[in-house]
């Protein structure tokens, strides 16, 4: 296992992060403990959660698992997604944030959250109000660092500007979707993170299992997120994604490497990425992902894998500046 500094925080985190979305639903408490133990044995010290995973059950399970090693692990959780039937049980209002953080602290059985993410952008709440509420949590010591998940680059940049102007605690990490078939983060989010020294933990490195090989050859497995959950069938339903996955799995076979290991390693190898978020339903499924921690991904191999996919378009239509910049970098 390798360790990287999370943004500018000075905190060292493992280059793989265990996602706990399955805890309390597909994964019962006993199996979650096996998964947690396997990750700790491998050197993982980074665990990602949310207050809406399994209606709070994931936080409760994770809280029990970290009880004996709380000072050795970095724990994240999130706020914004709906967590109840009340009309105000969602969003990023001060009211909801202050209520939610207390509930998360209680379920996690801890006195602080290492990294607290806003789960999505809330267009109905003034960003200034959200950032001031989050800054108060940092001042109180209930939250150590802040992050944003599923925000666009302009939204993150605006938040960083407000935080700098008003001397508020800033976002230190972002959590975007990123994998071989979903590469939009390369256009603006990852360059922004590199420029502003933000940590990046990327979710869905396997494309909800699409890049694992179980859908190859037109297979339709009996279970899995793409089969069982509409949000994933829509997210990864493009025929092109299956074509890319087919090429990728074949390429992995030629290398003699598990496509799971290769897919996670490809995400981890991007210079702006701090850690891919790995996940599974059981401990056995984790093994190939954990192997990515020490897999040697050269620049050449990363380029060959990227060529199997389709690179996203440029942030602007003026390609000539990009070409000139590359020329200048090569000839310095």
pLDDT at 227: 76
pLDDT digits (tens, 9 = 90+) for 235-265: 898 999 999 999 999 999 999 999 999 999 9
Q: Mean pLDDT, the chain, as a whole number? A: 94
Structural domain count, the chain: 1
pLDDT digits (tens, 9 = 90+) for 41-92: 999 999 999 999 999 999 999 999 999 999 999 999 999 999 999 999 999 9
Residue 185 lies in a domain: yes
Between 160-164, 281-285, 317-321, the lowest mean confidence (pLDDT) is in 317-321
Residue 72 lies in a domain: yes
pLDDT at 316: 85
Helices (H), the chain: 29-42, 57-65, 94-108, 127-140, 153-166, 189-196, 225-228, 230-235, 239-255, 259-268, 283-290, 299-306, 319-330
Which entry of 53, 145, 178, 203 is annotated as an active-site residue?
Answer: 53
pTM: 0.94
Residue 103 lies in a domain: yes
Average pLDDT, integer, range 302-309: 98
Identify the band that residue 143 occupies on the pLDDT scale cut at 50, 70 and 90.
very high
Whether 285 has a pLDDT exceeding 90, the answer reads yes
Q: In whole angstroms, give the CA distance from residue 321 to residue 327.
A: 10
Q: Cα angle at 46 between 156 and 289, to 5 degrees?
A: 100
Q: In whole angstroms, give the CA distance from residue 100 to residue 103.
A: 5
Q: In whole angstroms, give the CA distance from residue 243 to residue 38.
A: 33
H/E element, 49: none
Sorted by sequence, the CB contacts under 8 Å of residue 35 that are 6+ apart come out as 18, 27, 280, 282, 283, 286
Nearest to 206 by CA among 235, 228, 186, 230: 235
Residue 177 lies in a domain: yes
Share of the chain above pLDDT 70, in %: 95
CATH of the domain at 184: 3.20.20.100
Q: List C-alpha distances in Å: 323 to 39, 79, 111, 196, 326.
A: 43, 41, 50, 23, 5
Residue 85 lies in a domain: yes
Tokens representing residue 35 in the block = 């998964």
Nearest to 52 by CA among 44, 43, 60: 60
pLDDT at 291: 98
Helix pair 189-196, 153-166: axis angle to 10 deg: 30
Residue 262 lies in a domain: yes
The better pLDDT of the pair 3, 227 is held by 3
pLDDT at 321: 63
The better pLDDT of the pair 221, 126 is held by 126
Residue 266 lies in a domain: yes
Q: Which domain holds residue 189?
A: 3-209+258-296
pLDDT digits (tens, 9 = 90+) for 161-211: 999 999 999 999 999 999 999 999 999 999 999 999 999 999 999 999 999
53 is catalytic: yes
Residue 313 lies in a domain: no
């Amino acid at each position: 296992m390798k360790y990287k500094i999370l943004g500018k925080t000075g905190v060292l985190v493992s280059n793989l992060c265990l996602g706990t979305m399955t805890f309390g639903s597909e994964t019962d408490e006993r199996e979650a403990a096996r998964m947690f133990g396997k990750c700790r044995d491998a050197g993982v010290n980074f665990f990602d959660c949310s207050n809406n995973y399994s209606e709070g059950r994931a936080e409760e399970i994770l809280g029990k698992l970290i009880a004996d090693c709380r000072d050795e692990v970095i724990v994240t959780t999130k706020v914004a997604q709906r967590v109840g039937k009340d009309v105000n049980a969602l969003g990023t209002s001060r009211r909801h944030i202050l209520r939610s953080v207390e509930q998360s602290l209680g379920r996690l059985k801890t006195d602080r959250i290492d990294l607290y993410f806003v789960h999505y952008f809330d267009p109905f709440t003034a960003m200034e109000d959200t950032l001031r509420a989050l800054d108060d949590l940092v001042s109180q010591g209930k939250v150590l660092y802040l992050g944003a998940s599923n925000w666009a680059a302009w939204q993150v940049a605006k938040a960083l500007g407000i935080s700098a102007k008003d001397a508020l605690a800033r976002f230190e990490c972002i959590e975007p979707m990123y994998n071989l078939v979903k590469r939009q983060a390369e256009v603006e989010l990852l360059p922004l993170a590199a420029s502003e020294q933000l940590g990046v933990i990327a979710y869905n490195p396997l494309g909800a299992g699409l890049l694992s090989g179980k859908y190859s050859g037109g297979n339709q497995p009996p279970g899995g997120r793409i089969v069982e959950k509409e949000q994933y069938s829509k997210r990864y339903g493009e025929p092109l994604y299956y074509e890319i996955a087919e090429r990728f799995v074949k390429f992995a076979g030629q290398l003699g490497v598990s496509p799971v290991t290769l897919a996670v390693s490809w995400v981890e190898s991007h210079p702006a990425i701090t850690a891919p978020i790995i996940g599974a339903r059981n401990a056995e499924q984790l093994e190939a992902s954990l192997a990515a921690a020490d897999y040697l991904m050269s620049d050449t191999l990363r380029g060959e894998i990227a060529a199997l996919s389709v690179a996203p378009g440029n942030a602007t239509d003026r390609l000539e500046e990009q070409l000139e910049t590359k020329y200048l970098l090569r000839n310095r």
